[in-house]
Amino acid sequence: MEADKKMLTVTILLIGALISTVTSVVVTVNQEQSAQPGDGSVALYCALSDIPDGAITTTVEWQKSREDGSKMFLARSVNPGQMTSIDPRYAIVNEGSLSISDVNVNDTGTYWCQGRVTVTMSDAQEDTKSTMLHVAGPTTPEAPPKTTKAAEKTDSPDTDGATTRQYRISLISFCFVLISFLY
């Protein structure tokens, strides 16, 4: 009878572990967008889907590729409403899209939208997608963006291409520890 209880407990834990690994956050962006200098502003679309129920935090971060291949942090929004930006021209709107005001030809490039969802202290999911912005017109030299104190203090992880990275501490490992403890 005691062995049956232990087996039922282990089975329930394993099923819970398998169910918890099925869903993961998905980032969706438009492939490419064009603009003209003087258009005012442009918004690069980004949306998160498949957000697990009970998510503690939802973070959207935008970066732009530099000529040397590195990425420059532009803006981050944590739980819509708490935004940090390197320059007032950049803002995250509509829960994920990047709005660039006073768009100019120097804004041409590859932009990266990274979505990160924290479900528990040990369970976070992440996805990153890229999009292109083409701004037609003559090139004008641009001063580097002013860094605000808030932007200096933020940690901006370097994403690795368009690969999806998910960070999870598997409940299956927990189940094996529990099985060892029970037996």
Q: What is the mean pLDDT of residues 83-104?
A: 94
Residue 109: closest CA among 84, 128, 135: 135
Residue 65 tokens, joined = 């590729």
Structural domains of the chain, with CATH = 1-23+168-183 (no CATH), 25-163 (2.60.40.10)
Q: Catalogue the E-assigned strands of the chain.
A: 26-29, 32-35, 41-44, 46-49, 57-65, 71-78, 82-85, 90-93, 97-101, 109-120, 123-135, 166-168
Q: Give the integer Cα–Cα distance in Å for 71 and 69.
A: 7
d(CA 151, CA 101): 18
Q: How confident is the model at residue 19 (pLDDT cuts 50, 70, 90)?
A: very low
CA distance 134 to 64: 13
Burial class (CB in 10 A: 0-12, 13-18, 19+), 15: exposed
- Phi and psi, residue 41, nearest 5°: -135, 160
Q: How many residues does the chain have?
A: 183
Q: What confidence tens digit (pLDDT) does each residue in 114-123 have? A: 999 998 878 8
**Helix runs in the chain, H state only:** 2-20, 149-153, 171-182
Question: What is the predicted pLDDT for the residue at 118?
Answer: 92
Closest CA to 42 of 95, 97, 88: 97
Q: Which of 55, 51, 57, 50 is nearest to 78 (CA)?
A: 57
pTM: 0.64
Average pLDDT over residues 43-55: 91
Which residues neighbour 7 within 8 Å (Cβ) at sequence distance 6 or greater?
Answer: none
Pick from 14-28, 54-68, 95-109: least confident: 14-28
Rg, C-alpha atoms of the chain: 21
Encode pLDDT of 154-177 as tens digits. Answer: 333 444 333 333 333 333 334 333
Mean pLDDT confidence for 72-97: 92
